[in-house]
Amino acid sequence: MKRLFTLLDRLKHAFDSLSIQTKLIGAYILVFLVPVIVLSNYLFNEFYETTIKDIIKENHFVMESEIQEMTNKMDIMERTAQLTVSDDKLLDYASTDRDLPVSELMEFESTSYSYLQRVLFNNPDIANIHFFVSNQYVNEIWPVIYKEARVKERSWYKEAFEDKESVIWKILMNEKDVLDRNPVESKQTNSYVSFIRKINYPSNRYLGIIKVDMQIEDFFSRAYSNILDRQSLFFILDKHNDQYTNMTTTFSESTQNKMLAEIRAQQTSGNTSFLFSDEGSEYLCVIGHIDKLNVDMVNVISLQATYSKVDHTRNTVILVVAVLLILLAITTFFMQSIVLKKLHILRDSMKKVRKGNFNVDIQVKGGDEVGELAHHFRQMLKKINELIVEAVDRSAATKEAELQSLRNQIDAHFLYNTLENLKMLAEIESQYTISDALTSLGSIMRYNLRWTNDRVQLRHEIQHIEHYISIMNIRYDDKLMLDIEIPDLYMDHEILKMSLQPIVENAVKHGIYTDLMKKDMLRIHIHAFILEESFYVEVTDNGIGVSADKLRNLREKLVINDEEFKAAIPEDHMTKQGSSGIGLRNVNQRIQMYYGYENGLRIESEQGEYTKVKVKMPL
């Protein structure tokens, strides 16, 4: 077992060491050639079976057509006999009990007998219409009316006379002519399919027998056809296994006996077709039964020609498939070379990127998978370069903030101690308003100067805003109201430090107007909620609002790049956040820098009614 695993490992290592082109060619052979062989074999087997089924179906149809043709001919013979015996004058003539005078005979011959002749001559397939009369007073009239004594010794007459049924069908081989006066020495014979019927008239009185003949080669036209067909054998088989046909067979006697035995066995089981072989050749045998004659029509078809056509078709298809596979293999080889060339270029470009060159120009185009891979690799390099620039900008911004914090922290303890001393003096003098204002101012300074982290909890930002509003209320005589609608669950949510305070400060600076301060107060509502896997904070004020033109201009300032923004804002206004919108823009840029460009600020306003700033951040 260990040796087996070792061998498998070696094979796997050898396979991994192969080039992609070798693997692809091997995969081509495995994936295409083998299934094509298996599928072709399956399809040819299906084609062979379908062909045999079609041949069986076609020959069943031919057999049914032959049976229908036999039935039509038998109907013609029955109708001919019925037309004959339906003539009352003929029956009166056959049943006369006296010798008729010449005048009556001539009248009968000119009327009824002429009618019988027309019936005979109007049906060219009918060979004979014979009425054998037992009445001694009847005179024979050729070629229809004869004395019964002429055929009393014939076997078919005895069978018809003694049979309880009034109608029988017979195949009569080598039948001698009725007018042959010396039947022993005569050599002229004919073979017929005959319809024989006993005639009783009147009052069931036996008059004789009517017999309608059709030449056997006319009745069984296919079995006695003069057109030779070496691929099939058609014959009639009676209950004694006697065969009627003029077709010759090449079957041996043993094969014929086996075939006849198989025919009887298939008839017993209800089958109408079967396959058999003779000396390595395959044959199809189709059987049809004629009830009235109690005979079987047998059609034996050689399948060798069919097999030869199938084999020829199979060999042709195999040859075509082989040529196509070779052409496809050659085409695939060259296509693989083109694809691998692109992969080699892509691989070399990746090596350059690995060494630190992020400005590689990948010369691979196209809409195929390799071209798409090269496109995504180019986009990845572009994104990497953008992230590098963004990281550098963020680092610069962080360093600048840290530097600013360091500057602000100069003598920070001195400022804190001074504020504490002033606070204590205010409390000693019972100036509690000044004391509270100094407390808020100290908290604001500590919050602004402490930059240990860019992110804070929402509660800390809200506390900072509350201190800011508390100080601004001293200025505006408590005309500012801060309404916080934030569930405790969201207070621990992490946000960027100083991301909400500039928005509130902007609302205070630009929302206040004279009529509002006389009648009511400036209400600032802060609401936090979650929507579609994002965290939102809305800052709404009931201030003066923004006109439609200014709102559109402000929204544009949020999304344009730095160059366009600097060109749109005069240099002396860059430091005035209120007039230039730079404060909101900085907040929006910081949020997008940290959380992605799908986040940031959305501003809504209606002049004289309200202003709403919605901040979107990841949940």
Q: What pLDDT, in 10s, does the model give residues 74-117?
A: 999 998 888 888 888 888 888 888 888 888 878 887 777 777 77
Q: Which residue has the higher pLDDT, 470 or 360?
A: 470
For residues 191 and 210, what is the distance between their CA atoms, to the nearest angstrom?
18
Under DSSP, the state recorded for 198 is: E
Instruction: With both helix axes pointing from N to C terminus, report the angle between 458-475 and 501-511 in degrees, rounded to the nearest 10.
Output: 20
pLDDT of residue 589 exceeding 50: yes
How far apart CA 126 and CA 211 sit, in angstroms, is: 11
Torsion of CA 48, 51, 56, 58, to 10 degrees: -170
| Domain spans in the chain, listed from the N-terminal domain onward | 87-219, 232-302, 480-618
CA 94 – CA 87 distance, rounded (Å): 11
Residue 499 confidence (pLDDT): 87
Residue-wise DSSP of 424-481 = HHHHHTT-HHHHHHHHHHHHHHHHHH--S-SEEEHHHHHHHHHHHHHHHHHHTTT-EE
How far apart (Å, rounded) are the C-alpha atoms in residues 408 and 449? 6
If you write DSSP's letter for every residue of 396-415 in order, what string do you get?
HHHHHHHHHHHHHTTTHHHH
State how far the Cα of 247 lies from the Cα of 35, in Å rounded to an integer: 48
Residue 552 has pLDDT above 80, yes or no: yes
Phi, psi of 480 (to 5 degrees): -110, 130
Distance CA 202, CA 297 (A): 40
Q: Report the relative pairing of strands 206-215 and 128-133 from DSSP bridges.
A: antiparallel
Dihedral, CA of residue 38, residue 43, residue 45 and residue 46, to nearest 10: 140
Strand 600-606 and strand 534-541: the pairing is unpaired
| pLDDT, mean of residues 389-399 | 72
How far is residue 373's CA from residue 377's CA, in Å, rounded to a whole number? 6
Rounded Cα distance, 51 and 61, in Å: 15
pLDDT in tens, 9-62: 777 777 667 667 677 777 777 777 777 778 878 887 888 888 888 888 988 998
pLDDT in tens, 333-346: 777 777 677 777 77
- Determine the Cα–Cα distance for residues 503 and 538; give it in Å rounded to an integer: 10
Q: Which pLDDT does position 353 carry in this prediction? A: 78
Structure tokens at 187: 């050599």
Read off the pLDDT band of 529 (50, 70, 90). very high
Distances (CA, A) of 211 to 16, 128, 187: 93, 8, 22
CATH superfamily of 480-618: Histidine kinase-like ATPase, C-terminal domain (3.30.565.10)
Distance CA 232, CA 297 (A): 13
Alpha carbon distance 418, 587 (integer Å): 32
What amino acid occupies position 338?
I
Cα 346 to the center of its chain, rounded Å:
37
Phi and psi for 295 in degrees, rounded to 5? -130, 165
Q: What is the DSSP string of 231-244?
A: TEEEEEE-TT--EE
Spatial separation of the C-alpha atoms in residues 331 and 372, rounded to whole Å: 22
If one compares 230 and 504, the residue with the highest pLDDT of the two is 504
Inter-CA distances, 277 with 55, 109, 285, 300, 302, Å:
16, 60, 10, 11, 9
Query: Residue 230 in contact with residue 252, Cβ under 8 Å?
Result: no
Q: Which fold has domain 87-219?
A: Beta-Lactamase (3.30.450)
Tokens of 379: 């986009």
Q: What is the pLDDT of residue 399?
A: 64
Q: Residue holding tokens 């209320």?
A: 473
The pLDDT of residue 575 is above 70: no
- Give the closest residue to 31 by CA, choosing from 329, 317, 323, 316: 329
Q: Maximum CA pair distance of the chain?
A: 177
pLDDT attached to residue 590: 86
Query: 232-302 with 480-618: one CATH topology?
Result: no
- 506, two tokens: 């902007």
- CA 440 centroid distance within chain: 73
CA 141 vs CA 94, 122, 401, 512: distances in Å: 11, 19, 142, 142
Whether the per-residue pLDDT at 578 is higher than 50: the answer is: no
Task: List pLDDT tens digits, range 188-220.
Answer: 678 999 999 988 877 778 888 999 999 999 899
Residue 316: helix, strand or coil by DSSP?
helix
Is it the case that residue 178 has pLDDT exceeding 90? Answer: no
Confidence of residue 410 (pLDDT cuts 50, 70, 90): very low
Domain 232-302, CATH? 3.30.450
Phi, psi of 526 (to 5 degrees): -110, 120
Residue 213 has what pLDDT?
A: 92
What is the phi/psi pair of residue 183, to 5°?
-65, -20
Mean pLDDT confidence for 111-140: 83
Query: Is-above-0.85 flag for pTM?
Result: no
Q: Are 264 and 240 in contact (CB under 8 A)?
A: no
The residue that leads in pLDDT, 125 or 370, is 125
Residue 67 pLDDT greater than 80, yes or no: yes
Residues 6 or more apart from 125 whose CB is under 8 A from it?
A: 73, 76, 214, 218, 219
pLDDT tens for residues 478-526? Answer: 888 999 999 999 999 999 888 898 899 888 888 887 677 777 888 999 9
Q: Taking CA 581 as the corner, what is the angle to CA 578 and CA 584, rounded to the nearest 5 degrees?
A: 105
